[in-house]
A and B are shown apart, each in its own frame.
Chain A
Amino acid sequence: MKRQAAVLSALFLLLPAAAPGNWDFPPPKPVEEYGNLLIHRTSEKNNVKSVSFSHWMHRRKHTCRVCHFELEFNMKTNTTEITEEANRSGRYCGACHDGRTLFGHTEPHCGKCHNGDIGYGNLRFNDMWRYPVTKYGNRIDWSAALEEKWVSPARYLTTPPLPDEVNERKLDLDAAWINVPPSLFPHRKHTAWLDCNDCHPNIFNIKKKTTRIEMVKILKGEYCGLCHGSVAFPLTDCKRCHPTMRTPPKYPEPQSR
C-alpha cells in the first residue's frame, strides 16, 4: 500500500518532466503554400468557387495590422463577414481592391480570387528567391527580410501605429519543463508587424506571468500558436524561440524552393 502510493505519486510528479520535445506534427506544406488559405464562408452556397488567399503575397506589401486591425479581418478563417457588397463599398478586401489601386471586385477579375486553388499564384513565389532563408514555413526569414529592407510593407492605411518605443522589452519566458531553456520574446520584432490589440488582451494579458502559456496549448493553436504554425514561422523551428536549446529535435523540412 505504502509503496504503491509512493510510486504513483512519483509518477505523477515526473510525468510532465519526461520526454521534452518530439511532438507530432503533420507533414510540412510545400513552401509556396504555407500560410495560404481558402475562404468559403458563403461562396459554395452561392455557386462561386472559394477564395484563395496567400499570406506571403500580401505580407510583402502590408503588415499584419493593416488587415487584422485596420480592416477588421478576424484571425480565424471564415469568421469575418466578407461580402461582395462590403468589398464594393470599400471595406475588407475592397479597401485596396477597389479597381483603382488594385483590381476590383468586378468582372473580369473574378478568377483571380475565386479560383478554389490553394496554390494559385505559386510562380510569383520565385520573385523572393533572394530573401533571407530559414528552415521551415515559407523558408523565408520575414523578420530579417524586413530589417534588411527586402520587404517594406505599409504599416497603415489611415491609423498610424503607436510609436515603436512603446514596448521594447524583451521577455525572458521560463519554460515549465526541466531541460528546456527559456524562450526569448522580442516585442520589437512583433510590433513591427502587429498592432497591440492583435495579441492584447485577448490572447495574452498585458502583465507578465498573469497568462500561463503552455507548449501543449500552443501546439493546439492557442497563444503563440495562433500565428506560429499557420502564418508566422512554425513550431518545428524550436531554436528560434528557445535560442539556447542545445540539441533541438529535428523535424522534416518542407520542400525546398
Chain B
Amino acid sequence: MVRYSFLVIKNLHGSAIITIKQLRASPLLSKGVCMKKIFTLTFLLLVTPVLLHAQTGVKKRRPLPFEYGRVLISTPNLSPDLPDVQFDHWLHRAKYTCRLCHVDIGFAMKRNATGIKAEDNIKGYYCGTCHNGKMPHGDRAIFKACEKTYTEIELGSRCRRCHSVGEKVRAEYDFASFTGTFPRERFGNGIDWEKTEEAGLVKLVDFIEGISFKRRQIEVPKDFELSTKVESMPEILFSHKKHSKWSGCEGCHPEIFAGVKKGNTKYSMTEIFEGRYCGQCHTTVAFPTTDCQRCHSKPVR
C-alpha cells in the first residue's frame, strides 16, 4: 500500500504550493481505507487550488468620494441598539494630522486592530481623548463618546453619531458642502489634500495638551528618488516634507519602514498593492495606488 502526505502552503502572493510526499508502505492500512484516501486526495488536489484562488479578476467598485477612507469598526459585544461604528477619515483629516491619532493617541492602522472599548473611551483613551464633552472645538465642546448608561434620547442624539451602520442618521457635516471649495484631484476623496492644506483651507491640529509632547524638531530630510525595477518606468520622487507634515516621523518609522537608512527596507509593488508599506495609507486613506503617475513622476534620464 502506498500512502501520500501532502502539504498546502500559501505563499505571500496568495498562490499555493502543493507538495506531495510518498510515505513508506504501512501494513496497518486496509485496502478500503487506502482507496478512500486516494479518492479524497484526488478530490482535494482538484478542489484546493480553486479555493485558494478566490481572488477574482474583476474591476473593483471604486468608492464614491465621500466613502473613500471610510472605516467600519465592529462592536460585537455591545447591545443591539448600538450597531457598528462608521468612521469617515475625511472629516477628521480636515481638522487633525494623521500623527495625532495614529501616534499620540495610538490608533492602529488596521481596522479593528486597536480593539477600542467603551470603558477605554470613558477613561479618556482612544476616541475619548477628545470626545469627552469638555475638549473645546471652536465655540463648543466636542461631544462625549461613551458612557456607562444612556437614555433613549441620548441614544438618538449622541450614541448614533458614531454607532451609525445601518441606521438612518443625518450627518452634521455634509461632504459636498464641506469640501466644495477644496482643490480637486483624481481618485480617492477627489480632493488634493496637500494643496488644501497649503492654501489654508484646513488648519490641522497636531498637539493636544497632556497627550502630545513637544520635542526639539528633527530637520526634515531632503526629497529623494526611489529607483524602479521595470526599465524606463519613471522613478518615484519621495518627499519627506509632504509626508511629515501629516504623519510626522513616527507615522512610518520604524514600524512600516524599518530602516531609517535608504535601501534598508526592501519592498515590491505587489506588496504595496496588498496594502503594505506605502500601500498602508495609499490604498485606504491617502490617494490610491491606481494613480500611477502621482508617484512615478520623475522623467527617465
Option from A9, A201, A222 in Cβ contact (under 8 Å) with B38? A9
Q: Are B42 and A206 in contact, CB atoms less than 8 angstroms apart? A: no
User: CA of A165 to CA of B55 in the docked complex: distance in angstroms?
Assistant: 29
Chain B residues within 8 Å of A224, by CB: 57
| Cα(A221)–Cα(B43), bound, Å | 27
Q: How many residues in B have their beta carbons less than 8 Å from beta carbons of A?
A: 41
Residues 55-79 of chain B, each 1 if its beta carbon lies under 8 Å from chain A, else 0: 1111111101000000000000000
Does B64 lie within 8 Å of A81, measured CB to CB?
Answer: yes
- Kindly specify which of A19-27, A29-37, A72-80, A238-246 makes contact with the partner chain: A72-80
Q: Is B15 an interface residue (CB 8 A)?
A: yes
Interface pair B232/A76, CB less than 8 Å apart: no
Given A74-B61, A205-B273, verify A162-B233 contact (CB < 8 Å).
yes
Tell yes or no: B39 within 8 A of A by CB. yes
Contact, CB under 8 Å: A74 / B59: yes
Residues of A within 8 A of B39 (CB): 5, 8-9
Shortest C-beta distance, A84 to chain B (Å), equals 15
Question: Chain B nearest CB: distance from A160 CB in Å?
Answer: 8
Residue of A nearest to B65 (CB): A81
- Give residues 30-88 of B contacting A (CB, 8 Å): 31-32, 35-36, 38-39, 42-43, 46, 49, 53, 55-62, 64
Distance of A201 Cα from B56 Cα, bound (Å): 11
- Cβ B42 vs Cβ A9 within 8 A: yes
Contacting residue for B293 out of A8, A74, A162, A226, CB 8 A: A162
> In angstroms, how far is the closest chain B Cβ from the Cβ of A159?
6
Q: Are B232 and A1 in contact (CB under 8 A)?
A: no
CB neighbours (8 Å) of A223 from chain B are 57
CA distance A165 to B231 in the complex (A): 8
Query: Is chain A's binding surface mostly helix, strand, loop or mixed?
Result: loop
Interface 0/1 of A216-236, CB less than 8 Å to B: 011001111010000000000
In the assembled complex, B269 has its CB within 8 A of some CB on chain A: yes
- Residues on A with C-beta less than 8 A from B273 are 200-201, 205-206
The answer to whether A12 touches B46, judged by C-beta atoms less than 8 angstroms apart, is yes
Q: Report yes or no: A2 in contact with B56, Cβ–Cβ below 8 A.
A: no
Using A5-B38, A201-B289, A206-B269 as known contacts, say yes or no to A162 and B296 having CB atoms under 8 A apart.
yes
B290 in contact (CB, < 8 A): yes
- Known A-B contacts A5-B39, A9-B42, A201-B289; the reply to A222 vs B56 at CB < 8 A is yes
Q: Are A226 and B59 in contact (CB under 8 A)?
A: yes
B61, A206: Cβ atoms under 8 Å? no
Cα A70 to Cα B292 with chains together (Å):
12
B186 touches A72 (CB 8 A): yes
Report if A75-B270 is in contact (Cβ < 8 Å); known contacts: A2-B35, A165-B231.
Answer: no
**Residue B230 is within 8 A (CB to CB) of chain A in the complex:** yes
A and B contact pairs by CB, cutoff 8 A, 8 listed: A2-B35, A5-B35, A5-B39, A9-B38, A13-B46, A75-B59, A207-B13, A210-B270
B contacts, CB < 8 Å to A: 13-15, 31-32, 35-36, 38-39, 42-43, 46, 49, 53, 55-62, 64, 186-187, 230-234, 268-270, 273, 289-293, 296, 300
